[in-house]
Amino acid sequence: MRKAALFDLDSTLTDHATAFARWAEEFCASTGIPLSALMRAETLHGGARHAFFADLKNTFGLRRSIASLHADYRRRSAELVPYRPEVCTAMRQLADEGWELGVITNGSPDAQRRKLETAHLTRYFASVVISGEYGIRKPDEALFQVALDDLGVDDPAHAVMTGDCLIADIGGGQHAGLRTVWIAHGRTRQHLDPEPTHVAHDVVEAATWLLANPPRPERPSPLALAGG
């Protein structure tokens, strides 16, 4: 029986908050934009990078194009992802216990693969499925099916999706028939949010739970054993 552990990338396998903070410090130093103003734009626009950079450009008179600013952000923030040896150890332990490991992430292929390399994680994953290469995004269950097929896992009940986003990772994984682990980072699930199989503080804690709770092979019925 093949068993698969699928992981989100940003804020799950990698420390997105630290990478963003490092990039913000460099960007503010090179442009003269106050860090407080950049963080206000981040709070206002979140992950909508077009609006984020358009706001900064209009407010501070940046001469570079929004596309150029965004491209540099994708490249540099990927290079600033911290190496976390404890995460590598957790992935190696899963692989040693026979888990097939995969990544399912939304984003730009070049940037997402660079993050894995910078974090020293590439070697552990037999499959890396990135939305930008398929034209579909989580929570579309088709992206999860691509990963399971790539890993040779026929039964989604033998797979677990771990991620920090309740809609994209937990909801998407559930629609694809997977068990799910939510990386809560201290947050509280709301009443109408998808309910994960398990809640963990971080990916290392999630890996510990996976090691203790692998999928169990179905037992044949007594009739099947008797040839009936």
Q: What is the pLDDT of residues 66-112, one digit of tens each?
A: 999 999 999 999 999 999 999 999 999 999 999 999 999 999 999 99
Question: With pLDDT > 70 as the criterion, what percentage of the chain qualifies?
Answer: 95
CATH code assigned at 92:
3.40.50.1000
Return the pLDDT at 46.
83
Listed residues 46, 62, 79: the one ending a domain: 79
102, two tokens: 């995969």
pTM of the model: 0.92
pLDDT at 219: 58
Check whether residue 74 and residue 94 sit in a common domain.
no
- Residue 48 belongs to what domain range? 16-79
Whether residues 92 and 180 share a domain: the answer is yes
Q: End-to-end CA distance of the chain: give it in Å, rounded.
A: 24
Q: Which two tokens stand for residue 146?
A: 């691509």
* Residue at which a domain ends, from 62, 79, 96: 79
Answer yes or no: is pLDDT of 226 > 80: no
122-152 per-position pLDDT tens digit = 999 999 999 999 999 999 999 999 999 999 9
Distance CA 161, CA 170 (A): 7
CA distances from 136 to 106, 112, 150, 194 (A): 9, 15, 16, 21
In 3D space, the residue among 7, 13, 6, 11 whose CA is nearest the CA of residue 121 turns out to be 13
Count of structural domains within the chain = 2
224 pLDDT above the threshold of 50:
no
